[in-house]
Amino acid sequence: MNPSGQERKFEPVGRFVKKLVLPLGVVVLLMTLGVAVLFMGAGEPGKAEDAAASHDEIAQCSDNNNSSDAHEQAAKAIVDQGVALMGQSRVKEEIALYDEVVRRFGNDDSPGARAQVARALSHKGFALWDDTQLGEAIGIFDEIIQRFDKDKSPCVRVWVAKALNFRGDTHYLILETNAAIAFYDEVVQRFGNDDSPGVREQVAEALNNKDAVRRYLAYVVESNIAHYDEIIERPDNDDSPDRREQVAWALSNKGEAFGKQGKTKEAIALFDEVIRRFGNDDSPEVREQVAEAKKLRKGLLGQ
């Protein structure tokens, strides 16, 4: 680590909502604010999760050879210089130091040097993220994943696991939940049996984040169901085509939501209600909703 013991940090926005039960609008607002916090809080230490999996383990990875690996120590010293610049609005200088490590030691085969190259790339990714160069940051973390895909050193694997978690977090921030879950699942699949403490910490983080995504999705479904019920149960005497279309749409979508919750019987009952009530409707728009209900019914039954 650098003399101050700092490492750049990043906080998955999922931590703010994983244990909360909030209205959907508030959840989305928190997600949006989370992105803003990442932009505005660039380089502020102590506000987030360590960019590495474990501060202690990374320090151990850097020092476990007792300076016998001159390349590792040289690379570490340069990365430490870059880390010392974080939060000082000197992003170009900081990134130049990380690039120097990759240029000078990128082809070094020793585990210690590879770990420092992975560390340099990770900090470069976070520096770019702090500087709102989001696409470039994502590209760097993808490079870490690809470059060190088969690396057997725990001091390198920890950075790969962290990069995968970061990629999941970036999708979670913009509510691309399926993509987020896929990255979290990859962490568990690849490193679930890893015996390195730092890597295991990243597996735990992936599981926690996946649980946060599932909680969010479950709440979205519940919120949507409440919205559909409001439409269906609204007391009025309106029998216009627009109103019939709204009710058919709400019933059909409520059925789809029940299907996602595994409530197959209830879902089928709602699709059948749409077909029964509106199957002979003379409005083309209403009949479109009936056709959609039939399609969803068949899909749920695997027909």
Q: What is the pLDDT of residues 97-143, one digit of tens each?
A: 999 999 999 999 888 999 999 999 999 999 998 888 889 999 999 99
Are 135 and 275 found together in one domain? Answer: no
Cα 177 off chain centre by? 7
Are 128 and 267 found together in one domain? Answer: no
Q: What is the pLDDT of residues 210-255, one digit of tens each?
A: 999 989 888 888 898 999 999 999 887 788 999 999 999 999 999 9
Q: What is the pLDDT of residues 76-100, one digit of tens each?
A: 999 999 999 988 889 999 999 999 9
Are 112 and 241 found together in one domain? Answer: no
Residue 1 within a domain: no
Are 198 and 259 found together in one domain? Answer: no
- Mean pLDDT of all residues in 200-206: 94
Domain end call among 187, 218, 249: 218
The letter for the amino acid at 29 is: L
pLDDT at res. 249:
95
What b/e sequence results for 100-118 when a residue is b if at least 16 CB atoms lie within 10 Å of its CB, and e otherwise?
Answer: bbbeebeebebbbbbbbbb
User: Which domain range does residue 133 map to?
Assistant: 9-218
The answer, as to whether pTM is greater than 0.75, is no
Residue 3 within a domain: no
Are 92 and 148 found together in one domain? Answer: yes
Are 109 and 239 found together in one domain? Answer: no
Are 138 and 43 found together in one domain? Answer: yes
Are 80 and 161 found together in one domain? Answer: yes
Are 212 and 240 found together in one domain? Answer: no
Are 172 and 203 found together in one domain? Answer: yes
Residue 136 within a domain: yes
Are 139 and 184 found together in one domain? Answer: yes
Residue 150 within a domain: yes
pLDDT at res. 239:
85
pLDDT at 43 over 70: no
pLDDT at res. 200:
92
| 9 three-state secondary structure | strand
Q: Identify the CATH number of the domain in which residue 44 sits.
A: 1.25.40.10
pLDDT at res. 95:
95
pLDDT at res. 69:
77
Residues 6+ apart with CB under 8 A from 188: 203, 206, 207, 210
**Average pLDDT of the chain, as a whole number:** 80
Are 93 and 191 found together in one domain? Answer: yes
What b/e sequence results for 184-199 when a residue is b if at least 16 CB atoms lie within 10 Å of its CB, and e otherwise?
Answer: bbbbbebbeebebebb
pLDDT band (50, 70, 90) for residue 6: low
- Mean pLDDT of all residues in 182-199: 93
pLDDT at res. 238:
83
Greater model confidence, 66 or 180: 180
Distance CA 183, CA 190 (A): 11
Residue 283 within a domain: yes
pLDDT band (50, 70, 90) for residue 61: low
Q: What is the pLDDT of residues 9-25, one digit of tens each?
A: 544 444 333 333 344 44
Domain end call among 191, 218, 245: 218
Count structural domains, the chain: 2
pLDDT at res. 19:
36
Q: Are 61 and 115 in contact (CB under 8 A)?
A: yes
Residue 225 within a domain: no
